[in-house]
Amino acid sequence: MKGVILAGGLGSRLRPLTLVTNKHLLPVYDRPMIYYPIQCLLNAGISDILIVTGGEHAGDFLKLLKNGKDLGVRHLAYAYQEGEGGIADALKLAEDFADGEKICVVLGDNIVEGNIRRAAGDFFTQRSGAKILLKEVPDPQRFGVVRFEGEGEHKRVAEIIEKPSSPPSNCAVIGIYFYDADVFKVCQSLKPSGRGELEITDVNNYYLQRGDLTHEIIDGWWTDAGTFESLYRATDL
């Protein structure tokens, strides 16, 4: 399985800091933010990694990470996203890199306390489809949120709603996703949302409707780091 880190975007919620650097190069305690998703993949046994970035500071990733050897990455590749087309649009750039293999996609500002090795292993043996990771959060209206059906062992994801004003649960879809090779056809078929972007929630809902989307609620804490509040929380954690 290969790893894809999406580290583009303008980071407008973190201005003026992001006027002079890419959001994912800002410090979270004693390391650049991008180190955390790289380590997340390495902890899961994934050492063939593509970083998708963009903007005028894209070259700084190469300056910082070089070929990834110092961090333990076996093979580090880069792709450049032009414009702001959303997460699913950025993911399309990984098709040649994936080369038909399953992939684990991590948003570059997502930081987890625990290890996703178990989820990665489960997906490796999953015949087809996708897997999403969930975490209970105090502010679900900021995220894609799941609506469940059933109870206990029969509890399943019935719907994923992007940034709902009235969340059906407090379980957010965190920015770590597993996909089979069909994901690139799915991304090509998407139409822009009201925000003018290709939404990753639409990708996940496709697999949900197809019947081969699985989920796991992660252990330990999780946070994004895309706002001043969450960047502070990530550093504190």
Question: Is residue 115 pLDDT above 80, yes or no?
Answer: yes
Which amino acid would we find at residue 222?
Answer: W
H or E segment at 131? strand 130-136
More confident residue, 21 or 197: 21
Q: How far is Cα 65 from Cα 72, in angstroms, rounded to an integer?
A: 11
Q: Is residue 86's pLDDT more than 90? A: no
Q: 200-226: per-residue pLDDT in tens?
A: 888 999 999 999 999 999 999 999 898
| pLDDT for the residue numbered 196 | 67
DSSP string, 153-189: GG-EEEEEEES-SS-S-SEEEEEEEEE-TTHHHHHHH
- Residue 33, token pair as written in the block: 């933010």
The pLDDT score that the predictor gives to residue 226 is 87
**Cα separation, 2 vs 152, whole angstroms:** 32
Query: Which tokens sit at 95?
Result: 């098709």
For 127-186, the pLDDT digits (tens) are 999 999 999 988 898 888 999 887 776 778 888 988 888 889 999 999 999 999 999 999
Query: pLDDT tens digits, residue range 187-207?
Result: 888 887 767 677 788 899 999
At 153 the pLDDT is 67
When pLDDT is averaged across residues 99-109 and rounded to a whole number, the result is 95
Question: Percent of the chain at pLDDT above 90?
Answer: 63
Tokens of residue 160, six digits: 């994923």
Q: What is the pLDDT of residue 9?
A: 79
Q: What is the pTM of this model?
A: 0.92
Query: What does the pLDDT read at residue 166?
Result: 87
pLDDT in tens, 29-71: 999 999 999 999 999 999 999 999 988 888 999 999 999 999 9
Cα 123 to Cα 58: distance, rounded to the nearest angstrom: 31
